[in-house]
Copies of this chain bind each other. A is one copy, B any other.
Amino acid sequence: MGNTFGHLFRITTWGESHGGGVGVVVDGCPPRVELRETDIQPDLDRRRPGQSRIVSPRKEPDKVQILSGTFEGRTLGTPISLWVRNEDARPEAYTEMATKFRPSHADFTYQAKFGIRSWPGGGRTSARETIGRGVEILAYVKQVQRIAAVIDPERVKAKDIESNIIRCPDSHTAAKMIRLIEKVRKAGDTVGGIVEGVARGVPPGWGEPVFDRLEADLGKAMLSLPASKGFDIGSGFGGILLTGTQHNDPFRARRGKVYTTSNRSGGIQGGISNGQTIYFRVAFKPVATVMHEQDTVNVQHQNTTIRARGRHDPCVLPRAVPMVEAMTALVLLDHALRHKAQCGE
C-alpha cells in the first residue's frame, strides 16, 4: 500500500532505474477528460535531467506512453497506465554501488528493510495533472542556500517562473542562484534550498477536519518527494514569532463574499480551505551525491570510502518545481472529489 497515493483520485507507481522503466497507474480519473501523451510530456520535460547546464547532464528522453484508460483521446474512467520506458540504463556505471552504501542515500536503509536491493538505482516518479475548475497551481524556487527571493504568491506568473533555468520568478535573484549553483558544481559539491508551492482559486470547503486535513495531506505529499526535509504552510515556522493578536487573519465581507485581510493561515483553517490562496514551502537538502571521497561501509559492514562517478545534479531545485506542482494537484484533486462525494458540489 506504500506505493499508492490518494483515495479517490489515486496513483500507484512502480519502477526501478534499470530494466523496464517507470510507470504509474492512475485510478479514479473522471471519464471523458481529454488526455493524450502530449498533455503530459511537457511536464516530464521540465523535470528531466539534461535540460540545462545547472542540472545533471544525463541523457534521459523520458517519453511517456499511455497504455490504457483512454479511447480516442479521452479518458474512459478506467485505470490509466502511463509508462516511461528506460532508454539509457547503464548499470555498469554503478558497480561500486553493488557493494558500498552511499552516505545519506537510501542504499543502507533499503538493504536493512528488504534484505535485497536493486543496486543500480532506485525508484523515481513524477506526474502532473491539471485540475480545471479555475484552480491554478504553481511552484517556484524561493531560496538556494542563503540566496532568497521575495515573491508574492498572489501575483506570481507561470511565464516568469519558466523564464530562467532555475525557475525563480525574480530574474535578478535567479541570476545569483544560477551563479552559485555553477560555482558549487565546479567544486564537485551540491546545494539545497526552498521551493514554494501556490494554489490559487481553491474554493472554500475542500479538506477534512481531523486527520486528512488539507495541510496534512499536502505535507505528506511534499515530504514524500526525494530529498525533502521540511514543510510549512502560511506563516509556518516564522509565524511563531507573532502573538495571536498579530497572527490572526481578520474576516471581512464584500458583496456577500468572505475574505481575510491577511493570509497567515495560508488558505487553510482547521484542515479545510477558506477560499484564500494556499501557499507553502518545501525544504530540499543538498543532493547527497558529491564528487568527493566520503567515509562509508560496504555490505559486509566494513569501513571503506566511496567517491561518486558520472555527473549528477548540483541542485535538485529546478527539477523539483514540477514535482511540487504535481503532488499539489494530486492532493487537491483527490480532496475535490471527496468533497463532491460527501458534500455535494
Contacts and interface: CB of A to CB of B under 8 A. Distances in A.
A95 interface: no
18 contacts: A2-B210, A19-B67, A23-B67, A101-B258, A109-B205, A112-B204, A112-B275, A113-B339, A122-B270, A189-B245, A219-B219, A220-B223, A229-B232, A239-B286, A240-B286, A247-B285, A250-B295, A253-B303
Contact of A245 (B1, B234, B290): B290
Nearest to A15: B68
Interface stretch (A48-56, A75-83, A170-178): A75-83
Q: Which 6 A-B pairs have the closest CB atoms?
A: A106-B270, A230-B232, A20-B67, A2-B208, A190-B244, A112-B204
Contacts of A12: 4, 12, 25, 27, 79
B235 A229 contact: yes
Contacts of A204: 108-109, 112-113
A316 B239 CA distance: 14
B7 A1 contact: yes
Interface in A189-205: 189-194, 203-205
Contact of A110 (B81, B203, B272): B272
A203 B8 CA distance: 21
Q: Which of A217, A237, A290 has the most CB of B within 10 A?
A: A237
Interface residues of A, number: 156
A110 B220 CA distance: 22
B234 A229 contact: yes
A218 to B, nearest CB: 8
Given A123-B78, A232-B230, A252-B297, A8 B342 contact: yes
A244 B286 contact: yes
Interface string A293-307: 011110001110000
Given A31-B116, A113-B206, 19 more contacts: A1-B7, A3-B27, A12-B12, A12-B25, A14-B80, A15-B81, A18-B71, A109-B272, A112-B203, A112-B275, A191-B244, A193-B240, A211-B220, A219-B231, A240-B283, A244-B289, A248-B290, A256-B301, A337-B341
Nearest to A283: B237
Contacts of A242: 192, 286
Contact of A343 (B31, B215, B216, B252): B31
A145 to B, nearest CB: 6
A178 to B, nearest CB: 17
Interface in A107-140: 108-110, 112-118, 122-123, 125
A274 to B, nearest CB: 5
B112 A248 contact: no
Given A1-B10, A20-B68, A78-B3, A271 B208 contact: no
Q: Which of A231, A232, A244, A289 has the most CB of B within 10 A?
A: A244
A63 interface: no
A343 B212 contact: no
A188 to B, nearest CB: 8
